[in-house]
Amino acid sequence: MSDTMYQSHFGLREAPFGITPDTAFVYDCRAHQEALNVVLVALDSGEGFIKITGDVGTGKTLLCRRAMSVVEKNFSTAYLPNPLLDPRGLLIALADEFAVKMDRRADGHQLVRSLTQALLKLNVAGRRPVVFIDEAQAMSLPTLETMRLLSNLETEKHKLMQVVLFGQPELDRHLANPAVRQLRQRITFEYRISELSRVEVRHYLAHRMRVAGYAGTQAFSSAAIWYLHRATGGVPRLVNVLAHKALMLVFAEGRDRVTLRHAIAAARDTSSARRALIPWIV
């Protein structure tokens, strides 16, 4: 069963429920808007560290990319999608992101010095440096400590470099380690992303279908939406997985709307989905 046939059946230009983060499908749920506001306010105030956490699949990577696109006009941004680096690797990665020319064979002190001079030049030019780190829970304690030492550098008015950490709840346990207590004290702004409510799941499904080109009125019945919310707990990535499978089932039957039966079948085919009890009236 090809994706092209499936999309054509529903009048879509593209698949609406992919699991790869795509800013074209951004849905402004309450939690994401509040998290973005926290990041913007913190960066504007010049704070050193900002922390955004959320469970797997709640859209942290998408939010990270969105925040970068919003601030890139006023800041010089660096993006570390895979921070599983040792301290030296972190310095080199930051140098690459900020286009700093340096001798990669230099010792740690020289690397820090070259990076510091480059950060100062960016600040003088009015391009304040900010580092966005995705999957921050993967950072080792020595690497976190190196990042803290870099963030200690400051001008007369604000930090020389700001850092936004995006991570799973494990990041909080990581930061509870006494070895990084100084970094933890420097996190003055933080936010925990919550899952989608049932109403938000309804709007989320309709939004993604519309962006993908759907011109119908309602591709998911109310009962199907209720079940998808219960089975996924409102986790966007899991909503995408179940919604995609449900639409495939509808297409295979030659129908045009996802019902409760399709939603249940999609959940049963997904090991990470919850098994939701069905009341008489949903």
How does pLDDT run across 113-134, given as a tens digit for each residue?
888 888 889 888 888 999 999 9
Q: How far is 208 from 3, CA to CA, in rounded Å?
A: 16
How does pLDDT run across 9-32, given as a tens digit for each residue?
999 999 999 988 888 899 989 999
Give the domain extent around 180: 30-192
Our count of domains for the chain comes to 2
Q: How far is 9 from 254, CA to CA, in rounded Å?
A: 8
- Residue numbers in the chain where pLDDT is lower than 50: 280-282
Indicate whether 162 and 254 sit together in one domain.
Answer: no
Q: What are phi and psi of 257, to 5 degrees?
A: -145, 135
Q: Which parts of 95-252 are beta strand (E)?
A: 128-133, 162-167, 187-192
Name all contacts of 5-9 with Cβ < 8 Å and 24+ positions apart.
5/251, 6/247, 6/248, 6/251, 7/212, 9/251, 9/256
CATH code at position 231: 1.10.8.60
Per the CB < 8 A criterion, the answer to whether 263 and 219 are in contact is no
Reported as half-sphere exposure (CB side, CA atoms, 13 A), residue 109 has a value of 0
Query: Is 68 contained in some domain?
Result: yes
Average pLDDT of the chain, as a whole number? 90
Q: Which parts of 31-142 are beta strand (E)?
A: 49-53, 75-80, 128-133
Query: Is 158 contained in some domain?
Result: yes
Residues facing 189 on adjacent strands: 50
Do β-strands 49-53 and 162-167 pair in parallel, antiparallel, or remain unpaired? parallel
Q: 63-81 burial, b if ≥16 CB within 10 A, otherwise e? A: bbbbbbeebeeebbbbebe
The SS3 call for residue 18 is coil
Q: 153-190 burial, b if ≥16 CB within 10 A, otherwise e? A: beeeebbbbbbbbbbbeebeebbeeeebeebbeebebe
Query: Is 25 contained in some domain?
Result: no
CATH code at position 80: 3.40.50.300
Domain boundary among 136, 167, 192: 192
- CA 14 vs CA 84, 107, 115: distances in Å: 34, 49, 43
Q: Give me the pLDDT at residue 280, please.
A: 47
Per the CB < 8 A criterion, the answer to whether 31 and 194 are in contact is yes
Q: What are phi and psi of 7, to 5 degrees?
A: -70, -40
Q: For the full predicted model, state whether its pTM sits above 0.85.
A: yes
Domain boundary among 146, 173, 192: 192
Reported as half-sphere exposure (CB side, CA atoms, 13 A), residue 62 has a value of 23
Using only C-alpha atoms, what is the Rg of the chain?
22
- 154 DSSP 8-state letter: B
Query: Is 282 contained in some domain?
Result: no
Residues facing 75 on adjacent strands: 128
Q: Give me the pLDDT at residue 156, please.
A: 56
Domain boundary among 176, 192, 208: 192
